[in-house]
Amino acid sequence: MTLPIILVLAVIVLAILLFVFEFVRIDVVGILMMVLLPLLGLITPQEAISGLSSNAVVIIVAIIIFGAGLEKTGAMNSLAGILLKFVGRSETRIMLLISATVAFISSFMQNIGAAALFMPAAKRICRQANVPASRILMPMGFSAIIGGCITLIGSSPLILLNDVMKITSPDAKPFGLFDVTPIGLALIASFLLYLVLFGRFILPAGHKANGSNGPMSKTLQRTYHDIGNLFELSIPPSFVPKTLMDLEIRAYYFTTVIGVAHKGGTKNFAPDIDTELRGGDIIAVEGPPGLVKKLAAAYKWEIKDRLSVFAEDLSPANAGIVEAVISPRSEMARNTLHSFSFRKKYGVNPLAVRRGNKTFVGGISDIILQTGDTLLLQGRWDKFHFLKEQLDLVFTEEIHGAILKTDKLKYAIGSMLLSLTLILAFHINLSIALLTGALCMILTDVLTIDEAYESVDWMTVFLLGGIIPLGIAFEKTGAARFIVETLFSFSGPVSPLLLLAALAILTSFLTLVVSNIVTAVLMIPLAMNMALYCGADPRMAALVVAISCSNNFILPTHQVNSMVLQPGGYQTMDYFKAGSGMTILFLLVMLGTISLFYGI
């Protein structure tokens, strides 16, 4: 073992620890790799920044712009309307149609984007069909993950596949857009059959998702119980002015002041702790009825029979209460609402923070938020749209009042078809073809250039930019070959099928605890070296690793699983129960299909 091998293995261990324990954000880890590897002399400075100019990064940028264009044109709302005509009220039919639809969407954009884009539509279908969301969202999430295996641009590991293969074998023939399609279709077909046969037994039961005309849906009301009741109170002229900080209404009465109408006629729809209440003011509050009555009695305020001053402002057409999940790329992770000056900056009222099965109402401004936490927010619809764009929150239900460019839907679809035509008919490079489609979306005003820039997940870009050089160092220093030779010195060469099975199992395990991007970058060079040692096809070994990175069903560690965890009301055991069989089925179908189509 040479010094460079020792150093690169130490850097890999450091990167894995940073990913697992989240000491810093994932994009910071990527930048750290770009800086540390050339400083240690393991790769050249040109190799250190080569990841930023890779095909994988360009493809991901283009795919994200496609997703933003589809969202801006209301494509998912149109699709949900079409599906509602066919699903009726059959739970199985709804489950299968939504799962198949999301798998198809996921085949042309990153699976996390497909799930985020379709989740509000899925919940809308559940409400209108009176079907529990818990029976639909998990299959939808699994389908998004599996659908990412249908084409080469559906998941980050597959997008990375060709670039990382060239690290080990520069002359390796790249995979085409649809080379993985037989495997992906076999996987999604087997999953849909799995749902038909075992769905009623493995999926958690849930309450019916009836619609609601109130400030929040019946589903949210069941989750948050007494939260969501709106009242209007009149403050008598004799009241001595006090700020909300002085009154501590939330701390004592678990009630939130969401609107203040001052005597002069001005209104504040997101009052912060410095807002002063004065005699003659009218306030709108949200809270449990019993505690609101105690609040009114304590200060001799009058509870009105119904909303009057705030009736139009807080009507369902103009405002509401929604649930938002903190995504892995959100700036809010590891910060507090107070540090963001949340109310003052975004004009939205936080009502509660839900983590796991616990709901926090008091003191939520100082809670350090985590990825997967759910915020219950009240505000006007236009504020929610602004908030979504600024903080990368994933809203579990459709935000009303969106300004959609429905007339541009044909241009969005046309841009995607143009990219596919360039790839299939003219054999244009994937990154150039997809970037051409993304550019067409901008030129046809589906998105402005600023909206395109804002939609790009720069966290993922810098993560890829830093992890690809780590793969280069892993191969260049001989570390990958050293590990292979050490392993096979004990067992000797194995049959190609046994090797692929072992790689699939190892990759499936690693992706449960480490980012699938990191798993792919480290495992693909290792797998190709193993295949060369055993006389197997290194391209097939790389393909097995890239697809196995999507075999993540038994824990809510995958970003898609994490996203639907709270909206579906799931526990970790629910994933283990539903995902164990699918994990085994995934391995068997993948290996069987590869053997059939590629003659392993």
The verdict on residue 230 lying in a domain is yes
Phi, psi of 303 (to 5 degrees): -85, 125
- Tell me, yes or no, whether 299 and 248 share the same domain: yes
Provide the domain count of the chain: 2
Closest CA to 354 of 340, 338, 372, 342: 372
Q: What is the pLDDT of residue 503?
A: 96
The verdict on residue 278 lying in a domain is yes
Containing H/E element for 92?
helix 91-106
Q: What is the pLDDT of residue 173?
A: 94
CATH number of domain containing 362: 3.30.70.1450
Token pair, residue 380, equals: 């006007």
- DSSP, collapsed to helix, strand or coil, labels residue 517 as helix
What is the Cα–Cα distance from 513 to 508, expressed in whole angstroms? Answer: 10
Banded pLDDT at 157 (limits 50, 70, 90): very high
Q: What is the pLDDT of residue 216?
A: 63
Q: What is the pLDDT of residue 212?
A: 39
Q: Is residue 53 exposed (0-12), middle (13-18) or buried (19+ Cβ within 10 Å)?
A: exposed
Q: What is the pLDDT of residue 313?
A: 80
What is the Cα–Cα distance from 437 to 439, expressed in whole angstroms? Answer: 5
* CB crowding 163-173: b at 16 or more within 10 Å, else e: bbbebbbeeee
What CA–CA distances, in Å, run from 106 to 143, 145, 368, 509?
Answer: 8, 8, 32, 23
Q: Across the chain, what does the average pLDDT equal? A: 89
Question: Could you tell me which residues are beta bridge partners of residue 322?
Answer: 377
pLDDT of residue 469 exceeding 70, the answer is: yes
Q: Over range 333-344, report the average pLDDT.
A: 87
Number of helices (H) and strands (E) in the chain: give both, helices first: 26, 12
The verdict on residue 417 lying in a domain is no
What is the Cα–Cα distance from 91 to 97, expressed in whole angstroms? Answer: 10
Closest CA to 571 of 583, 587, 555: 555
Q: Which residue has the higher pLDDT, 371 or 548?
A: 548
pTM score above 0.95: no
pLDDT of residue 213 exceeding 50, the answer is: no
- Tell me, yes or no, whether 293 and 323 share the same domain: no
* Strand 319-326, strand 374-380: pairing: antiparallel
Token pair, residue 302, equals: 């009058």
- Tell me, yes or no, whether 296 and 341 share the same domain: no
Q: What is the pLDDT of residue 423?
A: 94
| Biggest CA-to-CA distance, the chain | 89
Q: Do the beta carbons of residue 544 and residue 55 sit within 8 Å? A: no
Q: Over range 96-113, report the average pLDDT.
A: 92
- Tell me, yes or no, whether 296 and 323 share the same domain: no
Q: Provide the domain limits for residue 329.
A: 319-395
pLDDT of residue 226 exceeding 70, the answer is: no
What is the Cα–Cα distance from 114 to 129, expressed in whole angstroms? Answer: 22
Containing H/E element for 380?
strand 374-380
The verdict on residue 416 lying in a domain is no
Closest CA to 95 of 206, 219, 223: 206
The verdict on residue 42 lying in a domain is no
SS (H, E, C) 246-312: HHCHHHHHCCEEEEEECCCCCEECCCCCCCEECCCCEEEEECCHHHHHHHHHHHCCEECCCCCCCCC
Q: Over range 36-51, report the average pLDDT.
A: 96
Q: Looking at 395, 410, 430, which one is the last position of a domain? A: 395
- Tell me, yes or no, whether 227 and 261 share the same domain: yes
- Tell me, yes or no, whether 338 and 299 share the same domain: no
Q: How many CB atoms lie within 10 A of CB 326?
A: 26
Q: What is the pLDDT of residue 349?
A: 92
The verdict on residue 459 lying in a domain is no
The verdict on residue 78 lying in a domain is no
- Tell me, yes or no, whether 324 and 299 share the same domain: no
* Strand 358-360, strand 349-355: pairing: antiparallel
pLDDT of residue 209 exceeding 50, the answer is: no
Q: How many CB atoms lie within 10 A of CB 438?
A: 27
- Tell me, yes or no, whether 229 and 281 share the same domain: yes
Q: Over range 306-322, report the average pLDDT.
A: 79
Q: Looking at 349, 375, 395, which one is the last position of a domain? A: 395
The verdict on residue 390 lying in a domain is yes
- Tell me, yes or no, whether 270 and 341 share the same domain: no
- Tell me, yes or no, whether 341 and 282 share the same domain: no
Q: Which residue has the higher pLDDT, 81 or 385?
A: 385
Question: Could you tell me which residues are beta bridge partners of residue 353?
Answer: 360, 375
pLDDT in tens, 485-513: 998 888 778 899 999 999 999 999 999 98
pLDDT of residue 314 exceeding 70, the answer is: yes
Q: Looking at 395, 411, 431, which one is the last position of a domain? A: 395
Q: Give, as one character, the DSSP assignment of residue 398.
A: P
Question: Could you tell me which residues are beta bridge partners of residue 350?
Answer: 377
Q: Give, as one character, the DSSP assignment of residue 175.
A: P
What CA–CA distances, in Å, run from 297 to 255, 281, 291?
Answer: 14, 17, 10
Closest CA to 93 of 127, 142, 148, 135: 135
- Tell me, yes or no, whether 285 and 353 share the same domain: no
Q: What is the pLDDT of residue 550?
A: 96
- Tell me, yes or no, whether 263 and 297 share the same domain: yes
